[in-house]
Structure 1
Amino acid sequence: MMRIGLYVPSADVTLDDIGAQVGAAETAGLDSVFFPQLTAWDALTVAALVGQRVPRIGLGTAVVRTYAVHPLALAGQALSVQAAIGNRLTLGIGPSHREIIEGQYGLSFDRPARHVREYLQVLRPLLRGEEVERRGEAVSAAGIVDVPGSTPPSVLVSALGPVMLRIAGELADGTTTVWAGPEVIGDHIVPAVTRAAAAAGRPAPRVVATIPVSVTADPDGVRADLAARLGAASRFASYRRLLGEQGKTDTSETLVAGDEDAVAAAIHRFAEAGVTELVASVAGGEADRARTVETLRHLRKTLPQNDVS
């Protein structure tokens, strides 16, 4: 059955606000909560802190920027979180975008696919407690990380294009997407990452899709609000290509919105496309958000079994 999670934004909220949202997701019987790594709360720190308060639900990052943190440092941080929360972390990582890595961090965004491949070749052994000695073109590391009580977390890679999807299938446990609808997921993303995993002798991969969702009587109003707040992401090259493949120009056009039946039907299409976990970024006013979480709670019990092979 397709799992259902909640995406919890980190901007303009307190830690108590985040904890309340995670608690509500757990009470609703949802499977997971994912935190972004933007310019507000640190995603892994939040996972460690909230995980002390909320004992069951899976916690994940979507995503930690690989260029901004060395894999030795990330392995230590991720395994520390694992030990702190009882080994229920999903570590989503990705290279981010040229505008962020070069514009904000002042780092080179040269050959991101090579960077991610070499990053995973260092990170995954470190997460397994193995010693690493590697001098690569993009990533070099020497050392070992030992955190008693931790197990290797599931690692997902943000991937949309064929090269990154191949890397996600070969070297990670799957992929995490955003702004991708069921058609492009079913026709392109699931087949590509699954072929890569099979060729590498790995299990069927996880496909975690984050989408904006609102059970609302005013879909146009919610869509306009999303365009005002998040429309700038539409200018990133990878998102422009993804939106273009779907006949869209703005991220707000990917919103799943309408009444309970309309939203349920749309989410079923993600399950049919092979998504293994749908992460809803709940949008709209307070009443809309409550209706949306209730709809997700009901859907969690009724969605069909997936086959991503």
Structure 2
Amino acid sequence: MRIGMAFGDVRGQLPLPEIASQVRAAAGAGIGTAWISDGIGWDALTTLAAVGPGAPGIELGTAVVPFPQRHPLILARQALTVQSAVGNRLTLGIGAGISRMVGAMYGLPTERPARRVREYLEILRPLLRGESVDHHGETFTAVGSAVLPGVEAPSVLVAALGPAMLKVAGELADGTVTWMTGPRTLGEHIVPSITRASGSRRPRIVAGLAVCLTSDEDAVRARFAEEFAPAGHVPEYRAMFDREGAAGPADVLLVGDETAITKQLDRIRDTGVTDAMLAPVGTPTEQTRTTEFLSTVTA
């Protein structure tokens, strides 16, 4: 299992130069991948274009870019531009977005998300390979191309939790990214579902979880439960918490001392995921201690 780290909004509001410093430090420590989420703060792809050239050697990924507000022709050109800027180190993670945000903030339709992502991938993947598309479908029209010289098509992952979305991810993408999904659900639902849908291909399965190295586990869980309480009411995440038997986000937090976190990571590894995307949380001191520890468990 490859160890990657999450940066950006999921770890709290920080100026861009501080995010760049964190990513450089992770690259220097041998962390496999730097993942940036795309929420209501920093734009993930633009952030990677800004910080990536200063952090050589580390893979750079989005986890994830919501696609409903981005036409596939636009996203393809943006992703390929970033891919060129970072020397072909980009992994492009996309997702349907949290339905309440997509509908409330942008006024966009949210029904049949698996159908929408299937059609989106049918357009996006050829565009990333430099092919032209002439697509007139149920949810998208796209006519054109996104040809940029000297750029490799990035790998594409899809945020997938439910059975229909995992089927699409397995059939049309290179794998999936999850967030706050516990080990029971990973091992019994996520991994077997996408592996079955992928056929002979081995999918990349990135498990995103928050982590905090601390000697005061109860206090950290209480703070995390309060800060991330809204996630417990998001239908997409709520379904995974219920499947896990978890009351909310705090129950899937990786927390404790070095021995405890190592055991929790071993349990995640045993589910069959290929990558852990770990987001250090807590105070600045706790995040620093957590980051330093994670750099010792990259293998």
Q: TM-score, normalised by structure 1?
A: 0.94
* One-letter identity of the residue aligned with 1:8: F
Q: Deviations over 1:193-233 (max 9, x none)?
A: 011111xx5x2000001101111011222222222222101
Give the aligned partner of residue 141 of structure 2: 140
Give the aligned partner of residue 54 of structure 1: 55
Name whichever of 141-150 and 285-294 sits farther off: 285-294
CA contact (8 A) 2:187 2:272 kept: yes
Aligned residues: 297
> Secondary structure of the residue that 2:296 maps to in structure 1?
helix
Instruction: Point out where structure 1 has 5 or more consecutive residues left out of the alignment.
Output: 302-309
* Percent of residue pairs identical: 45
Instruction: Point out where structure 2 has 5 or more consecutive residues left out of the alignment.
Output: none
Give the aligned partner of residue 2 of structure 2: 3
Q: How far apart in 2 are the matches of 1:47 and 1:27? A: 17
Matches within 5 A, 1:148-167: 148-167=149-168
Name whichever of 16-25 and 167-176 sits farther off: 16-25
Give the aligned partner of residue 71 of structure 1: 72
Q: Identify which of 206, 221, 224 aligns with 1:223.
A: 221
Give the aligned partner of residue 307 of structure 1: none
Give the aligned partner of residue 260 of structure 1: 258
The root-mean-square deviation of aligned C-alpha atoms, in Å, is 1.1
**In the TM superposition, what is the alpha-carbon distance from 1:290 to its structure 2 partner?**
2.5
**In the TM superposition, what is the alpha-carbon distance from 1:181 to its structure 2 partner?**
1.3
* One-letter identity of the residue aligned with 1:145: A
Matches within 5 A, 1:79-118: 79-118=80-119
> Secondary structure of the residue that 1:298 maps to in structure 2?
coil
Give the aligned partner of residue 121 of structure 1: 122
Q: How far apart in 2 are the matches of 1:266 and 1:70? A: 39
> Secondary structure of the residue that 1:204 maps to in structure 2?
coil
Give the aligned partner of residue 298 of structure 2: 300
**In the TM superposition, what is the alpha-carbon distance from 1:147 to its structure 2 partner?**
1.1
Q: Deviations over 1:220-258 (max 9, x none)?
A: 222222222221011111111100011112112211101
Q: How far apart in 1 are the matches of 2:69 and 2:25? A: 32
> Secondary structure of the residue that 1:68 maps to in structure 2?
coil
Q: How far apart in 1 are the matches of 2:166 and 2:28? A: 34
Q: How far apart in 2 are the matches of 1:222 and 1:179? A: 16
> Secondary structure of the residue that 2:60 maps to in structure 1?
strand
**In the TM superposition, what is the alpha-carbon distance from 1:109 to its structure 2 partner?**
0.6
CA contact (8 A) 1:222 1:283 kept: no
Q: TM-score, normalised by structure 2?
A: 0.97
Q: Deviations over 1:33-79 (max 9, x none)?
A: 11111111100000001012111111111111111100000000000
**In the TM superposition, what is the alpha-carbon distance from 1:284 to its structure 2 partner?**
2.1
Give the aligned partner of residue 242 of structure 2: 244
Q: How far apart in 2 are the matches of 1:251 and 1:69? A: 29
> Secondary structure of the residue that 1:217 maps to in structure 2?
coil
> Secondary structure of the residue that 2:131 maps to in structure 1?
coil
> Secondary structure of the residue that 1:91 maps to in structure 2?
strand
